[in-house]
Structure 1
Amino acid sequence: MPFINVKQLSGRTDEQNAAITRELTAAYARITGVAAENIWVAIEEIPATHWSSGGVTFAAKRAAAQE
């Protein structure tokens, strides 16, 4: 069974996460021919204080953008 693992910053709604799951499943099924019920999708939400790029957390980047 294919397993799609999405890692994203936290903050999206349940409805947005459900749409992400639906769209990824549909795209994978369309491209590969695998039945949708055999495709697993997991969404991992990571706090902005725990994710960084260039040594700066996304929480710090967001705070700086609001100044």
Structure 2
Amino acid sequence: MEGLAMAKKETRFQADSLTSQGTIMTHVITDKTTGVQYLLAISPNMGSGLTVLVDADGKPLLNKVD
């Protein structure tokens, strides 16, 4: 878009860690707005899944993000 200043878009989610075992990759992702943490599991050619991480009481795990 010529002539228009493009504003930098803030990313809401932050990938905190990556683990790989065989062909399965797992990521812990944090929502920078709420601090809620999610687990993303990816298996090529099989699919993927996303779930919220919870503590022993069933409450979402929170990570304080700057």
TM-score bracket, shorter-length normalisation: under 0.3
Q: TM-score, normalised by structure 2?
A: 0.22
Structure with the higher fraction of residues in strand conformation: 2
Structure with the higher fraction of residues in helix conformation: 1
Answer 1 or 2: higher relative contact order, Cα 8 Å, separation at least 6: 1
